[in-house]
Amino acid sequence: MPNSLEQNYQYRRRVMRVLLLFVVVAGFIFSAVNFYRGLIPLAIMELTYALFSLFLWQIILVTERFQMWITLFLVPFFIILVYAMYVPNSSESIFVWILTVPVISYLLMGRRQGFWLSLFFIFCGVTVYHFRFISGDSAINIADSVNIIASACLMISLAHVHEINREKNEERLLELAGTDKLTGLANRMKLMDAFKLYAEYAQRHGSPLSVVLFDLDFFKNVNDKHGHHVGDVTLRNIARFIEDRIRKTDLLARFGGEEFALLIAGSSDENCFQRVDLIRQQLCDTHFDHEQTPLTMTVSAGISTFGTDGTSLDDLLMKADQRLYLAKDNGRNCVVDANNEQIINLALKKMQI
């Protein structure tokens, strides 16, 4: 879902802004300290990076090239950390910062890119640490190496598990947010997200795309006669009935009340009408039993076509809704599309005369 991607980016933007603020402050402090200690190249790198971070802090919430700036920030950032360990007279404690690489990588780059980025720079950091700081007694060297490698592997593992769980929880929450509680179908939010993908594909490949609006005929009578509980059961039955008769590439959503919206991709106008009308006929011939009470429902439907009737979901829904109410005026239990709209309009006008 596009919405999932956007929410993920918003989450990363906020994390990035906190990190940038920290780097700006720490960069100025460490550059001053290293200028004082005589580590001029390292101090210049830190000062330059602090200024670069300040620039990013100002644009990171609005930039459209977020992923590019993330890469341009993290790779030099980790290189500076490794270089700071390599510089003579640098403190052994600087290795602590290398252990933050997995956390930062996973938070900002995601699970896959974060894994490879953290693995590479952790390897570089551990290698430089051994080159600079491990010498002398072999037993102590082995203990130091095991501690360093184990702590680095633990940080990568924890970051990896955390990111997997975060992705699953985010997907679950977005799925719940896009699902109608009564019928289990997609809701309006998911319909809008799906339409963006369907429309983009239809426009790029010149393939047909139709929007269908179904409305249950005389549904109010079911609630009045049998109660709202039976009405809810009926809505769930109708939802399953229609869903069982559409393709996996189509999307059925509860639009509101007793209305359902259906996105049909890759079917010509004629084929789309035939499929929708077949659903209408089959539903008319089907009895739903509730507590030994047979219920028969019919639907009216309106169909609009991407391109001909508009290119936005609002325009297509409006046109489908107009044809739906034309079907209602025509006696209900029928389907209206662009091909029979004019015929039905003329017939209704003659009846009024």
Q: Is 28 exposed, middle or buried (0-12, 13-18, 19+ CB in 10 A)?
A: middle
What's the gap between Cα 80 and its chain centre?
34
The residues, any chain, with a CB within 8 Å of residue 163's CB and separated by 6 or more, are: 106, 107, 110, 111, 114
Of the residues 258, 259, 270, 341, only one is catalytic, namely: 258
Which among 211, 188, 234 has a CA at the least distance from the CA of 304? 211
116-151 in b/e burial notation, b at 16+ Cβ within 10 A?
A: ebbbebbebbbebbeebeeeeeeeeeeebeeebeeb
Q: Phi, psi (5° rounding) for residue 252?
A: -105, 130
Could you tell me how many residues make up the chain? 353
Is residue 258 flagged as an active site residue? yes
Q: Find residue 179's DSSP bridge partners.
A: 186
Q: Are the C-beta atoms of residues 341 and 324 closer than 8 Å to each other?
A: no
> Distance between CA 128 and CA 95 in Å, rounded?
9
> Quick one: tokens of 292?
């030994």
Please compute Rg for the chain using Cα positions: 31
Element at 267 (helix H, strand E): none
Task: Report yes or no: 262 and 246 within 8 Å, Cβ to Cβ.
Answer: yes
Q: Report the 10 Å Cβ neighbour count for 348.
A: 14
Q: Which residues, 6+ apart, have CB-to-CB distance to 260 below 8 Å?
A: 185, 213, 214, 215, 238, 239, 242, 252, 253, 254
3-state secondary structure of 190: helix
Catalytic positions: 258
